[in-house]
Amino acid sequence: MINLILFGPPGSGKGTQAQRLVEKYDIAHWSTGDMFRFELSNHTELGQLAKSYMDKGQLVPDEVTISMLKKRMESGKATNGFILDGFPRNIVQAQALDTLLEEKNLKITALLSLEVDEEELINRLLNRGKVSGRADDINEEIIRRRLQVYKEETTPVYNYYAEKQLAVQVNGMGTIDEIFEELCLLIDDRYTTQFVY
Ligand code: B4P
């Protein structure tokens, strides 16, 4: 089993790389951002609530996010493992994840942190905004707020896992293919002994 947290600021390539990794390693993909967008496209109450935070570049409240993820983890299959993408985003979420995994007798294999320059992040998100129309990707001010929230609330999560010797930095600059190759080399080199696929 391989249980990964794909970590990094908005626009660092978490969603992009997670999609490829889940295909290659046949593991589950749990993206809290995708879950919120799914709720939103289905016009649910949860989707409306999430939108009011996402559009402003803020985090959705912890109790809402944690209970949504818990439900998804309990109903989904993850025989070979999973990738968490966009979660945990603060220490409260990291502690909640510990409890959730402990109940299931599971452990995080590694947190892989994609390192990307700020100007590159802003360009990527603005480019995506032109195509996707995502409200949180169109406005540079909102993007900068998301990056600020990341610095203040999310970066401590890296240290939380670094203290457990589980955090690894990966160069997130370069083409999507190059970064994917680097991630696969790392996973195959360090973690395949725990993982049969
Ligand atoms: P997310 O959906 O997690 O979105 P994100 O941080 O923007 O990153 P994403 O993974 O989608 O983008 P990627 O870097 O792959 O979060 C959105 C919002 O949901 C949050 O702001 C928050 O409000 C809420 N939320 C989510 N999880 C939460 C939680 N746990 N707690 C509270 N609130 C939560 O890609 C970005 C763009 O870059 C793409 O267009 C991609 O094609 C491009 N790209 C990727 N790699 C590239 C490369 N190497 N070169 C060039 N372009 C690249």
- Residues lining ligand 1, CB < 6 A? 10-16, 32-33, 36, 53-54, 58-60, 65, 86-87, 89, 93, 124-125, 128, 136, 146, 174-176, 179
Q: Does pLDDT of 194 surpass 60?
A: no
pLDDT at 197: 47
Average pLDDT over every residue of 168-192:
96
Q: Ligand 1: which atom is nearest the Cα of residue 178?
A: 49
pLDDT tens sequence across 15-48? 999 999 999 999 999 999 999 999 999 999 999 9
CA 138 – ligand 1 centroid, Å: 13
Mean pLDDT of the residues in the chain: 95
Q: Does pLDDT of 141 surpass 70?
A: yes
pLDDT at 30: 98
Catalytic-residue membership of 20: no
The CA-atom distances, in angstroms, between 105 and each of 10, 100, 169, 184, 185 are 30, 9, 26, 26, 27
pLDDT tens sequence across 53-69? 999 999 999 999 999 99
User: Which one from 70, 128, 144, 145 is the annotated catalytic residue?
Assistant: 128
What percent of the chain shows pLDDT beyond 90?
Answer: 94
Its pTM stands at: 0.94
- Name the band, by pLDDT with cuts 50, 70 and 90, for residue 77: confident
How is the chain split into domains, by residue range?
2-194
Catalytic-residue membership of 14: yes
Q: Of 159, 178, 162, 191, whose CA–CA distance to 83 is shortest? A: 191
- Name the band, by pLDDT with cuts 50, 70 and 90, for residue 193: low
Catalytic-residue membership of 128: yes
CA 8 – ligand 1 centroid, Å: 9
User: Which one from 20, 37, 51, 134 is the annotated catalytic residue?
Assistant: 134
Q: Does pLDDT of 108 surpass 90?
A: yes
**Candidates 3.20.20.140, 3.40.50.720, 3.40.50.300, 1.10.357.20; CATH matching 2-194:** 3.40.50.300
**Nearest 5°: CA angle at 83, between 197 and 104?**
85
Q: Does pLDDT of 178 surpass 80?
A: yes
pLDDT at 192: 76
Q: Does pLDDT of 80 surpass 70?
A: yes
Tokens 């896992």 found at: 161
Give nearest CA residue, ligand 1 atom 8: 10
